[in-house]
Structure 1
Amino acid sequence: MKSARNTLPDEPPNALTCGIDWARDDHDVSVVDARGREVHRCTVEHSAAGLRELLTVLARTGVCEVAIERPDGPVIDTLLGAGITVVVISPNQVKNLRGRYGSAGTKDDRFDAFVLADTLRTDRARLAPLTPDHPATVALRRVCRARKDLVAHRVALANQLRAHLRNVFPGAVGLFADLDSPISLMFLTRFDCQDRADWLTPKRLAT
């Protein structure tokens, strides 16, 4: 996602703004009216059901604009897919903005949701909405994320295998350049213990 060059309207639709403090397991939601009064607060789970509940809350209260701290992920996709205007305010900005309200600066998810909503209300001139990425960009990002996950999984398994071999078959460690290379895995499949590997002579190994 990227911030669009177009700006927000001078006044939010229905005179309401929303702030969502994103977290791993659940998200705090705060809705603020044109006078900066919190008119609704709730917490939704980070799940398909929770995101549906979020859209229901926004529709019921009449909210069309949301401020959040991150520019991607399922929450963003859900909001944009529902036609909600999304504005990103970075965590560092939120940390600095807490001082407006006399906060000591410590993070409080419920309070941060309010700060996000109220900042969207008061600082509209310097904020810009997100625009969805091109479908090809979205697809590429998903492929890259999947590849990154697979590489991390492969590295973790190779490390587990190396640790196990150091205990029961240390001679196989370092025999080939990469422990998880095809030739190394073929070797370990055929010679899975020291007893079988003892059959090898230098000539047989070379062959």
Structure 2
Amino acid sequence: ATVIASQAVISGAFSLTRQAVQLNMLPRLEILHTSEKQSGQIYLPRVNLLLALVVMLLVVGFGESSRLASAYGISVTGNMLVTNILLFVVMTRIWKWPLGVAVALMAVFAFVDTGFFAANIVKVFEGGWSSLAIAAVIVLTMWTWIRGTRYLFEKTRRNEIPLDFLAGNLLKKKPHLVSGTAVFLTSDPLSAPTALMHSLKHYKVLHEQNVILSVVTAPQ
């Protein structure tokens, strides 16, 4: 049972981390696909290392598995409660269920899960604080990344110009062309990439072929 549970935690951590990266809620991490047929079979070296370090710290800190019971209880019941909240969001915003039906269904699950969570939250000082601390660190990391990338995007957009406008100016005043092909990555294919603008500004040259590449994850 321990092996199965640990494997589920590891696989779940890999899957959730990849989804968070795709949603731009975490920085990009190395993702290795271990199967040629199944896209969900992945391995994240940094996440695996982080899990190993956290597990060793918990084992050394608590000493005995029985002392982890409080932390485990808060983790499980807290996860159930958060899952209900997310399911309610999916029901109302994606599935477009009537609000009354969604509330009635979620009220049943929320009543049960809230009772379990309330019974475990009183054990915070008996070890449950560790689960809350780990969750707080993850939330803080995601919040910092989201806010930072949003600020960087807004600042970058203020300095960008429309790609059509740049193409028109280049036709009127052609820069020195060099042989080869340049690929510029951008999240907004309608604006001139920052790297392209810096290349024109500092090197005063433009490649003969230029590719503006925007990578979008297709829904599965």
The answer to whether TM tops 0.5 is no
**Higher RCO (CA 8 Å, separation ≥ 6 residues):** 1
> Which has the larger share of strand?
1
Which of the pair has more CA radius of gyration? 1
> Which has the larger share of helix?
2
TM-score when normalising by structure 2: 0.29
